[in-house]
């Protein structure tokens, strides 16, 4: 378990989109991650941090990677996705980091049924194949600059439930992309993260450690604002079971500790992150 390095992320301050006027100043987020006792971080949405790589080093921080959170499921958004990928890879070249976490952004239709597999409409064959082509294109572009793509399941996206995770990983060769397990989004969707870790241990290349107070019900974004995601150790996540599973599959990599937030989410980001870090370390992870 000592082979796992802990990291933080701007998402714990509610930073999902770079130009959201509700975002806190970048310096507040960077100071908070460092104050929580972390040395690693994900960069957050490209364009959020100032174009000055020294802002990490002066706080003793280093980059794990960043993410693209966009409409991978929409063939009409391919140019938008390509621009987002270009910006993300440019940020990684500038700040460092070797992981690009690729996430299908919740659509209104799927956000409304987030966490409820029986009610959620799946992509048809043609739309699914188009999404896979998009992911493979991103993986190729990332590989050209030495960056590894890991696909992330997300509540309210079209890669959310067990059948969709299995299908996507089956359609993506292991040499093109790995798997990012998100414990909170797994729980929200009614899955046990320790089971996913064991089922996909050979593909597991990145980990997001989150917690939720309950499984999904109702609109995803409203649930986030209402505080369905909570500091690690205050919800459904069984840290001891997760730690055993990670040990069993010999996971070695990063574990980014996060709490999905929106304006109005209860509690303060820094105190939540500090409590989460302490509990994750106490479980033997990191």
Q: What is the 3-state secondary structure (H, E, C) of 148-176?
A: EEEEECCCCCCCCCHHHHHHHHHHCCCCC
Q: Give CA–CA dist 258/139, Å, rounded.
A: 24
Tell me what the mean pLDDT of segment 204-230 comes to: 92
Q: What angle do CA 5, 280, 193 make, to 5 degrees?
A: 90
> Over 70: is that where the pLDDT of 14 sits?
yes
Q: Give CA–CA dist 199/192, Å, rounded.
A: 11
Tell me what the mean pLDDT of segment 261-276 comes to: 90
Provide the pLDDT for residue 1: 53
66: β partners: 100
Provide the pLDDT for residue 263: 76
Tell me what the mean pLDDT of segment 152-170 comes to: 98
Residues 72-115 pLDDT 10s: 999 999 999 999 999 999 999 999 999 999 999 999 999 999 99
- Domains of the chain by residue range: 5-282
Tell me what the mean pLDDT of segment 248-262 comes to: 96
**Which tops the pLDDT comparison, 161 or 2?**
161
Provide the pLDDT for residue 216: 85
Provide the pLDDT for residue 266: 81
Give the range among 41-45, 50-54, 127-131, 162-166 with minimum mean pLDDT.
50-54
Please give the model's pTM, rounded to 2 decimal places.
0.96
Please provide the size of the chain in residues.
286
Tell me what the mean pLDDT of segment 21-42 comes to: 97
- Going by pLDDT thresholds of 50, 70 and 90, the confidence category of residue 60 is very high
Provide the pLDDT for residue 225: 87
Q: Which two tokens stand for residue 277?
A: 């870090």
Give the range among 1-5, 53-57, 121-125 with minimum mean pLDDT.
1-5
Provide the pLDDT for residue 265: 82
| 5-282 CATH, one of 3.40.190.10, 3.40.30.10, 3.20.20.150, 3.40.50.2000 | 3.20.20.150
């Amino acid at each position: 378990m000592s082979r796992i390095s802990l990291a933080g992320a701007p998402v714990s301050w509610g930073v999902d989109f770079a130009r959201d006027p509700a975002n806190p100043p970048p310096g507040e987020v960077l100071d908070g991650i460092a104050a929580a006792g972390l040395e690693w971080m994900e960069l957050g949405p490209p364009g959020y941090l100032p174009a000055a790589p020294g802002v990490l080093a002066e706080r003793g921080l280093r980059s794990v990677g960043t993410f693209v959170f966009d409409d991978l499921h929409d063939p009409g958004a391919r140019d938008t996705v390509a621009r987002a990928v270009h910006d993300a890879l440019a940020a990684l070249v500038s700040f460092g980091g070797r992981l690009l976490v690729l996430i299908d952004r919740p659509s209104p239709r799927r956000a409304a049924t987030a966490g409820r597999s029986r009610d959620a409409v799946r992509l048809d064959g043609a739309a699914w194949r188009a999404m896979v082509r998009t992911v493979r294109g991103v993986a190729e572009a990332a590989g050209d600059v030495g960056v590894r793509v890991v696909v992330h399941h997300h509540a309210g996206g079209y890669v959310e439930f067990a059948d969709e995770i299995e299908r996507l990983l089956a359609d993506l060769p292991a040499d093109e992309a790995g798997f990012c397990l998100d414990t909170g989004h797994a729980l929200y969707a009614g899955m046990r993260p320790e089971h996913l870790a064991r089922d996909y241990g050979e593909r597991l290349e990145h980990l997001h450690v989150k917690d939720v107070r309950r499984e999904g019900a109702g609109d995803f974004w409203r649930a986030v604002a209402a505080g369905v995601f909570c500091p690690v150790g205050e919800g459904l996540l069984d840290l001891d079971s997760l730690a055993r599973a990670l040990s069993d599959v010999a996971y070695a990599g990063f574990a980014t500790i996060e709490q999905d937030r929106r304006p109005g989410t209860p509690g303060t980001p820094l105190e939540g992150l500090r409590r989460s870090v302490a509990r994750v370390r106490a479980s033997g992870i990191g």
